[in-house]
């Protein structure tokens, strides 16, 4: 008999017909006359209740139907008398695919802490919370591709292994096949990377932006969506060593076009999740964050505040608020500063622009004041920075000068500089940290809980 997914079973038209469902047992309870099994197959947060009449099945046979075991059940779909469910299945036949030992299966009872569940990340997708988070994540990934495709952007795949450091921050994971116990050396004692796999030093990428710019200055508008890697030793609820980033890059866009796109994009994604993952978001709201849905609606319905870094610093300095990290013009903002602006001062998402050039990457368009660059960071409630981007420096001479000032090795940059040498155009782009978006939409508070298998300093299990 053909299987029906549990997400499709709560359909009044199916009541009265024979159905077949397959899934994992969440709970079994009951008495000598009747047993109830809650079955979940991952297609929805909802379980289907299976009713086993002990006149048709013997109790011994049902003892193997333990929490975590996998089943195939056939029977009649009927309207349910029970509270909180519209229908249930009166079992007629069942088969156990795989038992789950009741003494060792770790997900016996409800209410495990999120910390405990991180230690069993291989099984946590079977919990309500992680089922919901992972479905929301998938819906958001779909929204991202849909948004850019509807706008005529092309999906560009940029390399994960690279010989350049896109952000100039230097926190990269090296990729090598050299024998670490006997490294080849040059005459002056340095490691001889010419003997390495790529004939030069290579790393995992921190951003696809530079190659994205090559795409945008040919195809007009592109976006990337892929993993990026950062070897910073930041143990915070907002940093991962491996995270997914969406990086659109557009020719002929200035900073204002860039801000408009970023705002429209985030609002589209949040709206799409509310419309297409409602049950899961409602579940997460009820469990973790009663204000979640209001906050999502609020972001969709309000225009983001736009102001310069200099104005932002002034507000922070005049706030009288005691911050852990000092505030002064030139300081890199930390998440307490960003959240103060968003949550306390404006009570709206904020786009901060025109940062000091010293705290931003080399490729950003230089302003005439010689002090600031056309950067834009989108700051969100509960999250802080969710997007970082800029208009790009389009002038060959200015870009070259900045690269020299910062001592970035020119031999790695020749191909990037060529975009400014041949048919340069004004262009802009930004990067959205996918997990930060998922954090925001799910209301979770630790980034380790919105990616299936988090990589953080000291942790690469699973
Ligand atoms: O601000 P970032 O470093 O910007 C770039 O990488 C640019 N190349 C983007 C561009 O203009 N195309 O990173 C962009 C976003 C941040 O705003 C944040 O949301 C996220 O990526 N992000 C991280 N997310 C999780 N873990 C980390 N360690 C992250 N670092 C940045
Ligand atoms: Mg940034």
For residue 390, how many C-alpha atoms fall within 13 Å in the half-sphere facing its CB? 23
User: Which two structure tokens, joined as six digits, stand for 367?
Assistant: 């302003």
Lowest mean pLDDT of 47-51, 85-89, 204-208, 392-396, name the range.
Answer: 85-89
Contact indicator for 422, 447 with CB cutoff of 8 Å? no
Residues 5-36 pLDDT 10s: 999 999 999 999 999 999 999 999 999 999 99
The answer on pLDDT for 187 being more than 80 is: yes
Q: Answer yes or no: is the C-beta of 240 below 6 A from any ligand 1 atom.
A: yes
The residue whose CB lies within 8 Å of the most ligand 1 atoms, and thus the one to mutate among 243, 332, 351, 388, is 388
Cα separation, 440 vs 431, whole angstroms: 16
The pLDDT tens digits for 63-95 are 999 999 999 999 999 999 877 778 999 999 999
**Atom of ligand 1 lying closest to residue 437 CA:** 19
Residue 342 in contact with ligand 1 by CB distance below 6 A: no
pLDDT at 390 over 90: yes
From the CA of 388, how far away is ligand 1's center (Å)? Answer: 6
Please tell me the predicted confidence (pLDDT) of residue 341: 97
Q: What pLDDT sits at residue 286? A: 98
Task: Name the residue with the closest Cα to ligand 1, atom 6.
Answer: 207
Backbone angles phi, psi at 116, to 5 degrees: -60, -40
Confidence (pLDDT) at 167: 76
Predicted pLDDT of residue 169: 67
Select from 5, 40, 3 the least CA-distant residue to 20. Answer: 3
Gap from CA of 322 to ligand 2 centroid (Å): 24
Instruction: Report residue 410's pLDDT band, with 50, 70 and 90 as the boundaries.
Output: confident
CA-proximal residue: ligand 1, atom 23 (nearest): 433
Answer whether 386 contacts ligand 1 (Cβ < 6 A). yes
Residues 284, 456: Cα–Cα separation, whole Å: 24
Mean pLDDT score, 437-444: 98
**Ligand 1 pocket residue status of 229, Cβ below 6 Å:** no
**CA–centroid distance, residue 357 to ligand 1 (Å):** 17
Q: What is the mean pLDDT of residues 94-107?
A: 96
**For residue 107, what pLDDT is reported?**
95
> Quick one: average pLDDT of 370-386?
97
Atom of ligand 1 nearest to the CA of 389: 11
What is the pLDDT of the chain when averaged over all its residues?
96
Which backbone phi and psi does 265 adopt, to 5 degrees?
-65, -50
Please give the distance, rounded to the nearest whole angstrom, from the Cα atom of residue 7 to the centre of ligand 2: 39
Q: Which ligand is nearest to the CA of 432?
A: 1
Q: Cα of 363 to ligand 1 centre, how many Å?
A: 15
Least confident range from 78-82, 236-240, 281-285: namely 78-82
pLDDT at 105: 96
pLDDT at residue number 320: 93
* pTM assigned to the model: 0.97
Q: What percent of the chain has pLDDT over 70?
A: 100
Q: Which residue, chain included where needed, has tokens 């952000």?
A: 167
Place of tokens 């789950």: 100
Is 208 touching ligand 1 by the criterion CB < 6 Å? no
pLDDT class of 216 with cuts at 50, 70, 90: very high
pLDDT computed for residue 85 by the predictor: 73
Position in ligand 1 atom list of the atom nearest CA 447: 25
Tokens 């796109």, located at residue = 261
HEC states along the chain? CCECCHHHCCCHHHCCCEEEEEEEEEEEEECCCEEEEEEECCCCCCCEEEEEECCCCCHHHHHCCCCCCEEEEEEEEEECCCCCCCEEEEEEEEEEEECCCCCCCCCCCCCCCHHHHHHCCCCHHHCHHHHHHHHHHHHHHHHHHHHHHHCCCEECCCCCEECCCCCCCCCCCEECCCCCCCCCECCCCCECHHHCCCCCCEEECCCCHHHHHHHHHHHCEEEEEEEEECCCCCCCCCCCCEEEEEEEEEECCCHHHHHHHHHHHHHHHHHHHHHHCHHHHHHHHHHHCCCHHHHHHHHHHCCCEEEEHHHHHHHHHHCCCCCCCCCCCCCCCCHHHHHHHHHHHHCCCEEEEEEEHHHCCCCECECCCCCEEEEEEEEECCCEEEEEEEEECCCHHHHHHHHHHCCCCHHHCHHHHHHHHCCCCCEEEEEEEHHHHHHHHHCCCCHHHCCCCCCECCECCC
Which token pair is 144? 């991202």
């Amino acid at each position: 008999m053909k299987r029906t997914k549990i997400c499709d079973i709560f359909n009044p038209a199916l009541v009265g017909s024979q159905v077949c469902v397959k899934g994992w047992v969440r709970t079994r309870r009951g008495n000598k006359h009747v047993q109830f099994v809650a079955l979940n197959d991952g297609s929805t947060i909802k379980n289907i209740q299976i009713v086993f009449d002990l006149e048709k099945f013997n109790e011994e046979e049902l003892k193997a139907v333990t929490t975590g075991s996998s089943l195939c059940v056939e029977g009649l779909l009927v309207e349910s008398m029970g509270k909180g469910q519209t229908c249930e299945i009166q079992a007629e036949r069942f088969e156990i695919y795989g038992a789950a030992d009741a003494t060792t299966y770790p997900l016996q009872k409800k209410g495990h802490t999120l910390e405990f569940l991180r230690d069993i990340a291989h099984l946590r997708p079977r919990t309500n919370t992680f089922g919901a988070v992972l479905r929301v994540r998938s819906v958001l990934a779909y929204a991202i591709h849909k948004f850019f495709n509807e706008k005529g952007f092309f999906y560009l795949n940029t390399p994960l292994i690279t010989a350049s450091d896109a952000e100039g921050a230097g926190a990269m994971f090296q990729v090598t096949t050299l024998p670490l116990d006997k490294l080849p050396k040059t005459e002056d004692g340095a490691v001889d990377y010419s003997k390495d796999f790529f004939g030069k030093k290579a790393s995992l990428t921190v951003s696809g932006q530079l190659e994205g710019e090559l795409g945008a200055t040919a195809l007009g508008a592109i976006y990337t969506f892929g993993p990026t890697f950062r070897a910073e030793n930041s143990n915070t609820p907002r940093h991962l060593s491996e995270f997914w980033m969406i990086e659109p890059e557009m020719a002929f866009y200035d900073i204002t076009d860039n801000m408009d796109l970023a705002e429209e994009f985030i609002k589209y994604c949040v709206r799409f999740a509310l419309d297409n993952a409602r049950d899961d978001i409602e579940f997460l709201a009820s469990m973790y964050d009663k204000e979640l849905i209001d906050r999502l609606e609020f972001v969709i319905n309000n225009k983001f505040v736009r102001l310069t870094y200099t104005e932002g610093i002034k507000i922070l300095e005049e706030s009288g608020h005691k911050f852990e990290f000092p505030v002064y013009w030139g300081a890199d903002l930390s998440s307490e500063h960003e959240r103060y602006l968003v949550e306390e001062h404006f009570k709206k998402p904020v786009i901060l622009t025109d940062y000091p050039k010293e705290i931003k990457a080399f490729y950003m368009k230089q302003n005439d004041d010689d002090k600031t660059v056309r950067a834009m960071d989108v700051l969100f409630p509960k999250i802080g920075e969710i997007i970082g981007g800029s208009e790009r420096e389009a002038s060959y001479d200015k870009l070259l000068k900045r690269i020299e000032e910062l001592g970035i090795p020119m031999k790695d940059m020749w191909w990037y500089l060529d975009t400014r040498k041949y048919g340069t155009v004004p262009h802009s782009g930004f990067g959205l940290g996918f997990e930060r978006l998922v954090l925001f939409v799910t209301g979770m508070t630790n980034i380790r809980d919105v990616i299936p298998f988090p990589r953080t300093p000291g942790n690469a299990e699973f």
